[in-house]
Amino acid sequence: MTKLSVNINKIATLRNARGGDVPNVVKVALDCERFGAEGITVHPRPDERHIRKADVYDLKPLLKTEFNIEGYPAPEFIDLVLKVKPHQVTLVPDSPVQLTSNSGWDTKSHYDFLSEVLDEFNNAGIRTSVFVAADSQMIEYAAKAGADRVELYTEPYATTYNVDPDKAVKPFVEAAKVARNLGLGINAGHDLSLANLNFIYKNIPWLEEVSIGHALISDALYMGLEKTIQEYKNCLR
């Protein structure tokens, strides 16, 4: 079964636009779970422009499903994750000022750094995932560095899906096979939507988890959160 992890950063962005506590991030996360999400993802950034550290601490004791914290492993992030101990940490190579993640790790160039960080999380009993492009060498180095999983950066799939779905998915299927042969679990995320999710799932049915934020929260404006989550889950069958 491929788990749907809802990235709730957009909910925090909406809340922060007005100060105050509307919408309430914890309530939305618990509602996502109630409506069928199998995980919650947050991406705290140093400037706290969406998810704040306090949100991460608030969420941890209340979530009943998989808690995934993603982000760049700066000392402050590492400290937060080690304190909160989520089910999974996903390492993302984004700079603090970046609007959103726009590439996977160069796991070869950053091999020593990633090995050290992964070791720290592995020793703390937190499952590790490394965000990578659909590139077999990057996946091989992620495995060597000690990752439990890789998260495939699916933006290139999403942008070319409309032109030629088979061509768009092919490198991802190849990459997922490489990861599977290395014993890595495979997650996927970025720009997945109701339009393109089922196709990648059908081509890589052994995906462990998809992490989806922007499109899902946008769809919820029209369909409501409950129906939207059901629709995304229907794409994973």
Residue 213 touches ligand PXP, criterion: CB under 6 A: yes
Cis upstream peptide for 165 (omega within 30°): no
Which residue has 């992964």 as its token pair? 118
Residue with tokens 């796991």: 107
- Name residues contacting ligand PXP, limited to 150-189 (CB under 6 A): 151, 189
Residue 196 in contact with ligand PXP, rule: CB under 6 A:
no
102 near ligand PXP, judged by CB under 6 A: no
110 a catalytic residue:
no
Closest CA to 40 of 23, 17, 61, 14: 61
Segment contacting ligand PXP by CB under 6 A, of 13-21, 52-60, 73-81, 209-217:
209-217
Q: Is 70 a catalytic residue?
A: yes
Interface with ligand PXP includes 2 (CB under 6 A)? no
Dihedral of alpha carbons 140, 96, 90, 120, sign: positive
Count the residues of the shown chain that bind ligand PXP, applying the rule CB under 6 A.
19
E runs forming strands in the chain: 3-7, 39-42, 66-71, 88-91, 127-132, 149-153, 185-189, 209-212
Q: State which residue, 86 or 213, has the beta carbon closest to ligand PXP.
A: 213
Check binding of 49 to ligand PXP (CB under 6 A).
Answer: no
**Residue 190 known to be catalytic:** yes
C-alpha–C-alpha distance, residues 234 and 181, integer Å = 28
67, 72, 105, 131: which one binds ligand PXP (CB under 6 A): 131
d(CA 77, CA 171): 31
Question: Minimal distance in Å, beta carbon 83 to ligand PXP?
Answer: 21
Positions 77 through 96 that interact with ligand PXP (CB under 6 A): 90, 92
Return the amino acid letter for 109.
S
Q: Is residue 212 within the footprint of ligand PXP (CB under 6 A)?
A: yes
Count of other CB atoms within 10 angstroms of residue 1:
11
Q: Name the residue number minimizing CB distance to ligand PXP.
A: 189
- Strand, coil or helix: 2: coil
Report the residue from 3, 43, 52, 233 that binds ligand PXP according to the rule CB under 6 A.
43
Catalytic residues: 43, 70, 190
Residues that bind ligand PXP (CB under 6 A): 7, 9, 43, 70, 90, 92, 100-101, 131, 151, 189-192, 211-215
